[in-house]
A = this chain, B = another copy of it.
Amino acid sequence: MENLADAPAAGPAQDPAALNPAGLSPAAARALFRDGLVTPTAGWSAGYAQANLIIVPKAQAFDVLLFAQRNPKSCPILGVLDAGETAGPLLAGGDIRTDVPRYTVYEDGVKVADPTDISGYWRDDLVTFIVGCSFTFEAALQEGGIRIAHIDQGTNVPMYRTSVRCEPAGAMAGPLVVSMRPVPASQVADAVRITSRYPAVHGAPVHVGNPAEIGITDLGRPDFGEPVRIADGYVPVFWACGVTPQAAVMESKPALAIGHAPGHMLITDARDSSYLVP
C-alpha cells in the first residue's frame, strides 16, 4: 500500500509528501495553499480541525444557516464570517479567498470554475459558513487502531450523493452527501464509538454497509473524490459529509455560491480535541 509517510524524499519541493504535511501548523499550511499548492488535505496539520466551506450572498444566508441547523449531521457549523469578512478566529491572519487549496464556484447552481483563488469573485455581501469535516476524527480513528484507506492509498476520500433527502430550509433542498471509509467488520463498533464523540464534525456514521439502500449503486464511482480499494472482510461505513450544502446549492440555484473543492479543505486553527465530547 502507498502511504504518504513512506515516500518523504521522492518528490520535488512542491510535492506535499516532501513537506511532512502532518507536522505543518495550520497557518503554514494555509500559506502554502495561498502560494498555489493544490492538494487534498487529509492527514495535513495533525491535531487541527479541517473544514468545509459554503459561501453565499447575504440574501441566501438565512436559508443556508437554517438548512445547517436542520441538518446538523451533514452541516455542523463551526463558524460564520459576517458579510464581506475574509478572516476570523478559525483562520487567524488568513484570507478565506486564498487559503484553501482549491474552490468550486457555482453560478445559478451550475459549477462554472474550480479556481485556487476566489479574489476575483469576491463581493462585500458574501457570508462564509465554515462547516465541520470528518477529517477531524480520522486521527482519533487511527489512534483507535483503525486504518484510513484513502490516507493509506494516498487518494482523496470517496464521497457519494445518496437517495436520502435533507430537511429543506427555504430555497435550500438537496440530497445527503456521504463520505465512505471501509472498516474491518470487527472494528465497526469501535468506529461508531470513536466518531460519535465528535458530533461537531459529523459524529457517528449515518449508514453501515448496504450502499444500495441509500442509492449508491457503485462504490467504485464516487460522485466526488476518488475510489478506494476495499479489502475482503471490510464493511463500507458512511458518514454525513460537508459537501452536502454544495449539493443543495446546485438544486437551489443562487446566482452565486462558492465552496471548497471536495477534499481540499480549509485547515483551521481549532484543535481537533476542542470538538470532542465526554
Contact = CB atoms under 8 A, between A and B. Distances in A.
Contacts of A197: 278
B70 A196 contact: no
A62 interface: yes
A49 interface: no
A82 interface: yes
Contacts of A70: 80
A13 interface: no
A69 B62 contact: no
Contacts of A61: 62
Contacts of A169: 80
A1 interface: no
Contact of A65 (B66, B82, B196, B277): B66
A77 B65 CA distance: 12
Nearest to A83: B170
Interface residues of A, number: 17
Contacts of A77: 69
Interface in A64-108: 65-66, 69-70, 77, 80, 82
A54 B277 CA distance: 28
A109 interface: no
Interface in A15-52: none
A211 interface: no
A255 to B, nearest CB: 18
A82 B196 contact: no
A199 interface: yes
Contacts of A170: 82
19 contacts: A58-B62, A61-B62, A62-B62, A62-B65, A65-B65, A65-B66, A65-B69, A66-B80, A69-B69, A69-B77, A69-B80, A70-B80, A80-B169, A82-B170, A196-B278, A197-B278, A199-B199, A199-B277, A277-B277
Interface of A: 58, 61-62, 65-66, 69-70, 77, 80, 82, 169-170, 196-197, 199, 277-278
